[in-house]
Amino acid sequence: MTKALMIQGTGSNVGKSMLVAGLARACVNRGLKVAPFKPQNMSNNAAVTADGGEIGRAQALQAMACRLEPHSDMNPVLLKPESETGAQVVVQGQRYSTTGAMGYGQLKARLLPKVLESFERLKAGADLVLVEGAGSPAETNLRPGDIANMGFAEAAGVPVVLAGDIDRGGVIAQLVGTQAVLTPEDAGRIKGYLVNKFRGDPRLFEAGDAEIARRTGWAPLGVLPWFRDSWRLPAEDVLDIASRAGGAVKVAVPQLARISNFDDLDPLAAEPEVTVELVPPGRPLPADAALVLIPGSKSTITDLAFFRQQGWDIDLKAHLRRRGRVLGICGGYQMLGHEIADPEGVEGAPGTTRGLGLLDVTTTLEPAKTLSLTEATWVPTGDAVRGYEIHLGRTQGPDCARNWLTVGDRPEGAVSADGLVQGTYLHGLFSADRFRAGYLAGLGAEHAGASHDQQVEDTLDALAAHMEAHLDIDRLLSLAT
């Protein structure tokens, strides 16, 4: 009989995604068939699945930890923010609707059956399903109709382990306070707890750990020290990309307001000779960048206006005068053309918006979304590249005749006449080691190209060993039902 266990957190960014990934790999290494599951995620960093859907990038990493191909059932509800109050709702991998925060509250009850349906399908092929919560169950104002935390745990009959983050301080209050604000029924679903991100000697927290156990009555599962190699794993939050300086070859990435699918940056940031500098709003693009990479966007036209508001369009022209290189991926590619036409109002009011004019192409947005895993070839060398497409619209124009990729017989991408500006719809291409080595050699990085996938695999194994050493995994698994 398949068992399940849910990891919830005392807040956002306490490490739930990494805990599930590490625990999944630990259990797989013990010989179990494991599947990851997150009922509801909110992220614009999506992964395309083999069944033609999209899920949160964290669940794709967790699938890798389970040695499984990502599937849309692993994250049946994905919210992709398009504005401060509105988001696209993706259900079982496919676009379902666009709604505001209040509207989504009314929608959740209709989505719960889909969530449970996906959960049951995953259970059919696994010994253990590890479920990740979202945010915190202490947000009791969100409990009515909840499908992300205790609402799901109640409906599916899944026990909960609560994780606290000692690095941000107040972990005793985080854990004890969560119990205090929950209903007795929800508090009773929590069977154990763990403390994450400890720095220093864990013996110093023995009295604090005992205090939490005494006050809550929950099973103490351990204090997990800070995992120093976490930066080697693909980031769910774009700000994590910029947490580590690298080498002399600088790739500058403007931090768009609705940046999406920035997993293109992970393999670059892992290269010792490369520094990926995320440029926040209000700061100019660095003059010493070898490459300016304009990433994907969930709202291309809005982010193009945002780009200009920061003065980055002026900085980009100065960068090109210095013979620097520019690469636009997906939404960034669309911005580089002469115009973006939106005749059907896909991103707002119908109309046409002037682009940056650095590629001789134009883009027309269309309601139908392209979602595909894509095999391509890098034209200069013939090297294979594997990535994915996830976009609305099509781009065409004279610079597309200078394509630098091919997908079968189809040309892909565009290059400016002087060769300094490139664009493509293909995400994930820098994961290809030979391509990445050749591309970075053109920027001055002479020794790039170590296996990115193997580095991620090795880091997942190291994370699993780290959790085995510091958590009571046997006791944790005994809580699963």
Catalytic machinery residues: 330, 427
- The Cα 183–Cα 186 span in angstroms is 5
Alpha-carbon distance values, 294 to 197, 244, 254 (Å): 32, 20, 6
Fill in the amino acid letter for 325: R
Residue 177 CB-density burial (10 A; 0-12 exposed, 13-18 middle, 19+ buried): middle
List, in order, residues 6 or more apart from 130 with CB less than 8 Å away. Answer: 4, 5, 6, 7, 20, 23, 24, 27, 34, 35, 36, 37, 62
